[in-house]
């Protein structure tokens, strides 16, 4: 018994002195002490020489020795693994994480969403329609019959004749589609992509984006239109912007106007962007022409309405001071990365 006690304490001293600094030494330690032919197993052989009355005590000692060795081995293993010398890969939680590239919204989408949210607050609902339109919805119903000279200003890409299919030149076509449903009063904004047969330059493109608005009810007046657009400008650009209305012509509105705001660059003093006038044009508008209402089956003696339409590119260029329209469709990341999503 005494022999067993002194032998085990010798082994324990040896174990504590073992130097283990890498995975290979750790494995050698395991084989030497805990392997099938290791010292722990071999010590169990003492049992057969121990007298019966001491067997319980010897068993306890041997078991304690086994637990001591196993837990020392577990401690060494932890040490090797956390020191990174294990030869295996373990994650280091203190390293900085991988940076995942996060996209940002396209500037046109950012401004489109802002425009929509301003008008939503005024009770406008969003309405959408097809980009491939028929002649009726894009032109004829809007008081632009075949051979009307104003069609010239909105030349487009004609896909098919009889039936007449073309790429819509404005989202006013969506206004017609909604009016045809004859659910009045009607208060909608129509965002979307539109097309024109134009030579591409810094100021024109063969496609761009619009938001058009329409409000039809009883007793809607030009004063309602002015106040709505004034609110829009203040929300979009800020409180210190003035607006002015200039008489204009659109076949689908009477009277018609174009709306200017004080120049975003010089705030009205006069600069090269506003051509020294202090004003920049942002949209067209007017009171819906009675012919348009009648074309959609709406009684023009009972109902009146206003409409307006703006190019989102134009608003975006003014807001972010972008000088070339082509940048919006070139997909140059150096340009697009400058706009953070909102
Ligand atoms: N549709 C016109 C355009 O694309 C813009 C416009 C002007 C829309 C007056 C309207 C409006 O609804 O009333 O140039």
Q: 202 and 132, same structural domain?
A: yes
Q: Are residues 134 and 68 in the same domain?
A: no
Range 117-123 average pLDDT: 98
Which of 34-38, 60-64, 264-268, 308-312 has the least mean pLDDT? 264-268
| Within-domain flag for 146 | yes
Residues 40 and 177 in one domain: no
For residue 283, pLDDT over 80 is answered with yes
Q: Is the dihedral of CA 128, 228, 151, 198 positive or negative?
A: negative
Q: What is the CATH number of the domain that holds 289?
A: 3.30.930.10
Sign of CA dihedral 78, 81, 86, 89: positive
Residue-averaged pLDDT of the chain = 93
* Short-list 153, 169, 151, CA closest to 206: 169
Q: Report the run of H or E that residue 307 belongs to, with start and end.
A: strand 304-311
Q: Is residue 284 lining ligand 1, measured as CB closer than 6 Å?
A: yes
Alpha-carbon dihedral sign for residues 76, 79, 83, 86: positive
Name the closest-CA residue to atom 3, ligand 1.
170
* Angle ∠(122,257,316) on CA atoms, nearest 5: 60
Measured between alpha carbons, how far is residue 157 from residues 84, 196, 205, 277 in Å? 67, 7, 13, 35
Q: Residue 185: inside a domain, yes or no?
A: yes
Q: Is the pLDDT of residue 341 over 60?
A: no
Same domain, 193 and 240: yes
Omega cis (within 30) before 255: yes
The domain in which residue 15 lies consists of 2-83
Q: Is 172 in the pocket of ligand 1 (CB under 6 A)?
A: yes
Nearest CA to ligand 1 atom 4: 170
| Residue 45: predicted pLDDT | 85
Residue nearest to atom 8 of ligand 1 (CA): 309
pLDDT at residue 48, rounded to an integer: 84
Q: What is the pLDDT of residues 10-56, one digit of tens each?
A: 999 999 999 888 888 999 999 999 999 999 999 888 888 888 898 89
- Please give the distance, rounded to the nearest whole angstrom, from the Cα atom of residue 289 to the centre of ligand 1: 12
Could you tell me the maximum CA-CA distance found in the chain, to the nearest angstrom?
Answer: 122
Q: Please check whether residues 65 and 173 belong to one and the same domain.
A: no
| pLDDT, tens digit, 9 for 90 and up, residues 56-92 | 999 999 999 999 999 999 999 988 887 766 555 566 7
Residue nearest to atom 5 of ligand 1 (CA): 309
Could you tell me if 20 and 123 lie in one domain? no
CA-based radius of gyration for the chain = 41
Does the model's pTM come out above 0.95? no
Say yes or no: 258 and 310 in one domain. Answer: yes
250 Cβ closer than 6 Å to some ligand 1 atom: yes
When pLDDT is cut at 50, 70 and 90, the band that residue 342 belongs to is very low
Residues 31, 136 share a domain: no
Whether residue 318 is predicted with pLDDT greater than 90 in this model: the reply is yes
Q: How far apart are CA 244 and CA 221, in angstroms?
A: 17
Write out pLDDT tens, residues 180-237.
Answer: 998 999 999 999 999 999 999 988 999 999 999 999 999 999 999 999 999 999 999 9
101 within some domain: no
Q: Are 153 and 253 found together in one domain?
A: yes
Q: Are residues 11 and 114 in the same domain?
A: no
**Residues sharing a CB contact under 8 Å with residue 295, sequence separation 6 or more, in sequence order:** 140, 141, 142, 143, 176
Q: Are residues 149 and 271 in the same domain?
A: yes
Mean pLDDT for 237-251 is 94
Task: Report how far ligand 1's centroid is from the alpha carbon of 221 (Å).
Answer: 17
Asked if residue 307 and residue 174 are part of one domain, the reply reads yes
Q: How many domains does the chain have?
A: 2
In a domain, residue 90? The reply is: no
């Amino acid at each position: 018994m005494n022999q067993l006690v002194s032998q085990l304490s010798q082994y324990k001293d040896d174990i504590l002195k073992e130097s283990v600094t890498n995975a290979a030494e750790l494995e050698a330690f395991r084989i030497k002490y805990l392997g099938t032919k290791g010292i722990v197993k071999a010590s169990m052989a003492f049992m057969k020489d121990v007298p019966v009355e001491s067997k319980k005590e010897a068993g306890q000692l041997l078991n304690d020795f086994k637990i001591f060795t196993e837990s020392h081995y577990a401690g060494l293993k932890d040490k090797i693994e956390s020191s990174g010398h294990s030869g295996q890969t373990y994650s280091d939680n203190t390293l900085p994480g991988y940076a995942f590239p996060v996209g940002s919204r396209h500037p046109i989408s950012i401004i489109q969403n802002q425009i929509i949210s301003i008008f939503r607050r005024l009770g406008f609902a969003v309405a959408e329609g097809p980009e491939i339109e028929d002649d009726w919805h894009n032109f004829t119903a809007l008081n632009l019959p075949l051979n009307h000279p104003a069609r010239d200003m909105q030349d487009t890409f004609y896909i098919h004749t009889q039936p007449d299919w073309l790429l819509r030149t404005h989202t006013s076509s969506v206004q017609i589609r909604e009016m045809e449903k004859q659910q009045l009063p009607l208060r909608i904004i129509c965002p979307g992509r539109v097309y024109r047969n134009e030579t591409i330059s810094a100021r024109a493109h063969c496609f761009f984006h619009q938001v058009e608005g329409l409000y039809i009810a009883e007793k809607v007046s030009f004063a309602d239109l002015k106040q709505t657009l004034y609110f829009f400008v203040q929300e979009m650009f800020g409180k210190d912007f003035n607006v002015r209305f200039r008489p204009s012509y659109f076949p689908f509105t009477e009277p018609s106007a174009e709306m200017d705001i004080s120049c975003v660059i010089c705030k009205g003093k006069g600069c090269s962007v506003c051509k020294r006038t202090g004003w920049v044009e942002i949209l067209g508008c007017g009171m819906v022409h009675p012919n348009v209402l009648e074309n959609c089956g709406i009684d023009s003696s009972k109902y009146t309405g206003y409409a307006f339409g703006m190019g989102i590119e134009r608003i975006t260029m003014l807001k972010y001071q972008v000088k070339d329209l082509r940048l919006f469709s070139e997909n140059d990341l150096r340009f697009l990365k400058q706009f953070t999503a909102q």
